[in-house]
Amino acid sequence: MATDERQLAAIGATEIRVRGMTCHNCVRHVTEAVQSVTDVAGVLVDLGKERASVRWRPGATGDVKSVLQAIGQAGYSASVEDSASAPRRSNWSPLAGWRFNVVVGSIATLTLMVGEWIFQFGMTRWFQWLAFAVALPVQIFCGARFYRGAWAQLKIGASNMDTLVALGSTTAFVYSAWALFAGLPGHLYFMEAVAIVSLISVGHWLEALASDRAAGALRALLNLAPPTARKLGPNQSEFVVPVAALQCDATVLLKPGDRVPTDGKIIEGNSAVDESMLTGESLPVDKSAGARLYAGTINLNGRVVMRVEAIGEATALAQIILVVQRAQSSRAGIQRLGDRVSNVFVPVVILIALATGLWWGFAPEQARQVSGWLEPFLWSATRPDGALASAIFHAAAVLIIACPCAMGLATPAAIMAGTNAAARRGILIRDGTALEKAGDIDIIFFDKTGTLTQGKPDVIAVEDFRASEARGDAIETIAATLARGSNHPLSQAIARFADETLPLHDWSEHRGAGVAGTIELCDANLAPVKFQLGSLNWLQAAGIDLSAAENFACEWSARGSTILGIAARGQLAGVFAVRDDVKPHAAEVVAQLQQAGHAIYLITGDHERTAAAIAAKLGIPSGNVHAEIRPEKKAALVEELQRSGHKVAFVGDGINDAPALEQADLGIAVSRASDVAREAADIVLLNSDIQAMPEALGLAQATLRTIKQNLFWAFFYNAAGVPLAALGFISPVLCAAAMGLSDLIVIGNALRLRRWRK
């Protein structure tokens, strides 16, 4: 079993054999059909292997019957494949997939081209019989994939590119065979029939190779987690087990060079770990006891023992794979235009081909006059002798040159390439809609803590306002006792400031404001005292007099520090200056975004003086700073700007920013790998440094630009190609080559995103 198949099996996947797919437009239809089924978390469709790996949501029973039914309704046949019992197939075969058509069809096409174009045997009867003998097996065996695809679509009342290819090549072959057996003189089109099948097969083969490259990042993600792990037994014995057999709390040994099999925490040893494939950060991260490890990362130089904390779908890697798969199979709004045209495209082309055939068959002189009138402006047209031959020739050309695949691939090919390129940089773009929204943003809102700042504040100054005779326990110890129960970064900074802990009762947290609790002081003569620790505004609202802290607050807030106060018995007991340093590249990122035409806003719960000091360091205009904003008010502020006609992006660390991320036109979460499942954000930066922000927006905008270019090409190609083919300016052979080239242009343009640089 291939590595990616083992990984999918490890995280819960059902292997399904899908028959009838001929191109990546078919892959898209199968993907959309499978994802429409309830409880499907993601699907990876492999055109070459004719297989779909369906991943289920956690706790789902796996309704395989509904998946098979959905695929059948899309016009393809499907059956469950037990990957364990399936016969092993070599990774490469000279005649696998489209290669059979390419090899056999190319030999037949070259043989007939040499005979007709070089030796001029085309009008001799013996060569026409040879051409029939050569074309017949090509039409039957190489054309079988197109016939099966066309028939499968016809059964559900639909049509696709296979319909056009089957009609075009069959029309040329059947007319030529009838003329040959009837003994009619004139040119026959066996070479054209063979060339149509062969050249379009070459186009599909090249398309598959190009799309395979476009999906490289997803395949790399699937190959990250190893299939086995070194599990430690009760007596520290070491034995190799499949990753799928690991359970939470199991202990796993990692040696230098090992890939981490699943998410866990180090309980012994230390090492440097390469997390570049998950976060885009090239520098190794030092890890010691208590540090988190993520599936797929590489242990570089130390021996460590980890305890398994997450398996299967719960791992960060599985969540990233799910996000990338969802993005690649998503539909951008701009795709609706292409879809609407594609839905009616094939029937319209068939009608145009029929009208062309009737025109050349019943009014050949008029058709020749129109074609001849245009020749001085274009080039010499091809006009066969005889009304019937002309009708067949031009109708077949119209059928062949029309390419619904180019329109169908325009958006998904760009989304696939763009999301893959982003994933390689540690940027997760959730869907095609996010790409569109990124192109319209004019305001970017940054949450301060953990986004523009390090998110690891430290206490840099403290002042105790209690009377000296009443001090007893240190104010730092009292504050640390209160703060330890909170996960807020400022509370954690206070908690780290002192090691001792006092007895605490009736503790409570007021979200975004502070904490309160009753502490038993060391002095046994004193009754337990209720303390409040939090923002000065919160304490003031509680009736606490803050005049004693005015000088301290002015001095340290001007330096960019956040001021917290602690109060007891209705009086201010002390104040703390807590500073969270600005990230090293934050000012540079802000400048780059401003140069790109974005207005930058800062939002924070800090005091106005603190916010102004931070904004000055970052180069954010003072008028764009919103201070003393409670977490629940952030979304309302975003909505207010949206009502003014602005397109707003909100950048936050996700701790309390979910409502604002959801409200914004574009939500960007600055996150670590463990947080990738956050649903509120449209874009997730796996590396917590915002340095990737300009790159994320730039890549999203480049992807949207590529989608528009692809759609323009697809529409232009068909708008120009169909009338030229109808008037004889493009022969059926050139039409087949042009149709394959059209797909390659769309995919090749999308692949440029892999090399995109800001």
Using one digit for the tens of pLDDT, what is the confidence trace for 414-435? 877 888 788 778 787 877 778 7
Taking 70 as the threshold, does the pLDDT of residue 108 lie above it?
yes
Residues 73 and 119 both lie in one domain = no
Q: Residue 233: give its domain's CATH number.
A: 2.70.150.10
Taking 50 as the threshold, does the pLDDT of residue 1 lie above it?
no
Domain boundary among the residues 544, 579, 614 is at 579
Q: How far apart are CA 580 and CA 533, in angstroms?
A: 18
Residue 591 — very low, low, confident or very high, per pLDDT cuts 50/70/90?
Answer: very high
Among 447, 653, 665, 743, the active-site one is: 447
Residues 434 and 465 both lie in one domain = no
Q: Measure the N-to-C terminal CA separation of the chain; round to a whole number of Å.
A: 39
If one compares 154 and 58, the residue with the highest pLDDT of the two is 154
Average pLDDT rounded to a whole number, residues 43-59? 76
Q: Which residues on neighbouring strands pair with residue 508, listed in sequence order?
A: 516
Is 269 strand, coil or helix?
coil
Residues 599 and 496 both lie in one domain = no
Do the beta carbons of residue 453 and residue 582 sit within 8 Å? yes
Residue 52 — very low, low, confident or very high, per pLDDT cuts 50/70/90?
Answer: confident
Q: Going by C-beta distance under 8 Å and a sequence separation of 6 or more, which residues neighbour residue 156?
A: 73, 74, 75
Q: What is the pLDDT of residue 577?
A: 92
Beta strands in 377-485 (DSSP E): 427-429, 443-447, 458-464
Q: Residue 491: give its domain's CATH number.
A: 3.40.1110.10
Q: What is the pLDDT of residue 96?
A: 60
If one compares 267 and 209, the residue with the highest pLDDT of the two is 267
Q: Going by C-beta distance under 8 Å and a sequence separation of 6 or more, which residues neighbour residue 92?
A: none
Residues 176 and 288 both lie in one domain = no
Average pLDDT rounded to a whole number, residues 262-291? 82
Taking 60 as the threshold, does the pLDDT of residue 87 lie above it?
no
Q: What phi and psi values does residue 604 have, to the nearest 5 degrees?
A: -155, 160
Q: What is the pLDDT of residue 6?
A: 41
Q: Is residue 20 in some structural domain?
A: yes
Domain boundary among the residues 693, 724, 743 is at 693
Q: Going by C-beta distance under 8 Å and a sequence separation of 6 or more, which residues neighbour residue 121?
A: 115, 127
Q: Are β-strands 514-519 and 529-535 bridged in parallel, bridged antiparallel, or unpaired?
A: antiparallel
Residues 575 and 587 both lie in one domain = no
- pLDDT winner (highest mean) among 390-399, 476-485, 631-640, 660-669: 476-485
Residue 55 — very low, low, confident or very high, per pLDDT cuts 50/70/90?
Answer: confident
Is 668 strand, coil or helix?
strand
Exposed/middle/buried for 569, CB within 10 Å: 0-12, 13-18, 19+?
A: exposed
Q: How far apart are CA 210 and CA 194, in angstroms?
A: 24
If one compares 709 and 208, the residue with the highest pLDDT of the two is 709
Average pLDDT rounded to a whole number, residues 51-79? 82
What percent of the chain stands above pLDDT 90?
12
Taking 50 as the threshold, does the pLDDT of residue 85 lie above it?
no
Average the pLDDT over each of 340-344, 457-461, 696-700 and give the range with the smallest value.
Answer: 340-344
Q: Is residue 423 in some structural domain?
A: no
Residues 106 and 83 both lie in one domain = no
Average the pLDDT over each of 246-260, 292-306, 405-419 and give the range with the smallest value.
Answer: 405-419
Residue 330 — very low, low, confident or very high, per pLDDT cuts 50/70/90?
Answer: low
Q: pLDDT (tens digit, 9 = 90+) per residue, 671-720? A: 654 455 456 678 888 776 788 888 888 888 888 888 888 888 888 887 88
Residues 82 and 144 both lie in one domain = no
Taking 60 as the threshold, does the pLDDT of residue 590 lie above it?
yes
Residues 132 and 198 both lie in one domain = yes
Residue 86 — very low, low, confident or very high, per pLDDT cuts 50/70/90?
Answer: very low
- Tell me, yes or no, if 442 is annotated catalytic: no
Residues 11 and 146 both lie in one domain = no
Q: Going by C-beta distance under 8 Å and a sequence separation of 6 or more, which residues neighbour residue 348?
A: none
CA 552 from chain centre, in angstroms, equals 49
Average pLDDT rounded to a whole number, residues 731-757? 78
Q: Residue 683: give its domain's CATH number.
A: 3.40.50.1000
Domain boundary among the residues 530, 552, 579 is at 579
Q: What is the pLDDT of residue 219?
A: 62
Residues 351 and 366 both lie in one domain = yes
Q: How many structural domains does the chain have? A: 5
Residues 487 and 574 both lie in one domain = yes
Q: What phi and psi values does residue 602 have, to the nearest 5 degrees?
A: -115, 135
Residue 713, CA distances (Å) to 200, 699, 735, 755 in order = 19, 21, 16, 21
- The H or E element containing residue 180 is helix 161-182
Q: pLDDT (tens digit, 9 = 90+) per residue, 166-200? A: 887 888 888 888 888 988 777 787 888 888 788 77
691: left (phi over 0), alpha (psi -120 to 50) or beta: alpha
Average pLDDT rounded to a whole number, residues 83-103? 58
Q: What is the pLDDT of residue 117?
A: 80
Q: Is residue 251 in some structural domain?
A: yes
Q: What phi and psi values does residue 222 have, to the nearest 5 degrees?
A: -65, -30
* Mean of all residue pLDDT scores within the chain: 81
Q: Which among 45, 26, 413 has a CA at the least distance from the CA of 211?
A: 413
Taking 70 as the threshold, does the pLDDT of residue 270 lie above it?
yes
- pLDDT winner (highest mean) among 250-254, 275-279, 334-338, 673-677: 250-254
Q: How many CB atoms lie within 10 A of CB 572?
A: 22
Q: pLDDT (tens digit, 9 = 90+) per residue, 522-570? A: 765 667 889 999 989 899 988 999 988 999 988 888 888 889 999 998 8
Q: Are β-strands 571-579 and 427-429 bridged in parallel, bridged antiparallel, or unpaired?
A: unpaired
Q: What is the pLDDT of residue 237?
A: 83
Q: Is residue 700 in some structural domain?
A: no
Residue 252 — very low, low, confident or very high, per pLDDT cuts 50/70/90?
Answer: very high
Tell me which residue range forms the domain holding 37: 3-91
Residue whose token pair is 């679509």? 153
Q: Is residue 272 in some structural domain?
A: yes
Residues 121 and 210 both lie in one domain = yes
Q: Is residue 587 in some structural domain?
A: yes
Q: Angle, to 10 degrees, between the axis of helix 732-751 and the axis of helix 693-726?
A: 170
Q: Residue 14: give its domain's CATH number.
A: 3.30.70.100
Residue 340 — very low, low, confident or very high, per pLDDT cuts 50/70/90?
Answer: low
Q: What is the pLDDT of residue 326?
A: 61
Q: Which among 287, 221, 282 has a CA at the least distance from the CA of 256?
A: 287
State pTM to two decimals: 0.66
Taking 80 as the threshold, does the pLDDT of residue 33 lie above it?
yes
Q: Is residue 223 in some structural domain?
A: no
Q: Which among 663, 626, 658, 669 has a CA at the least distance from the CA of 647?
A: 663
Taking 60 as the threshold, does the pLDDT of residue 215 lie above it?
no
Q: What is the pLDDT of residue 327?
A: 55
Question: Would you state the structure tokens that stand for residue 412, as one six-digit string?
Answer: 């998904």
Q: Is residue 53 in some structural domain?
A: yes
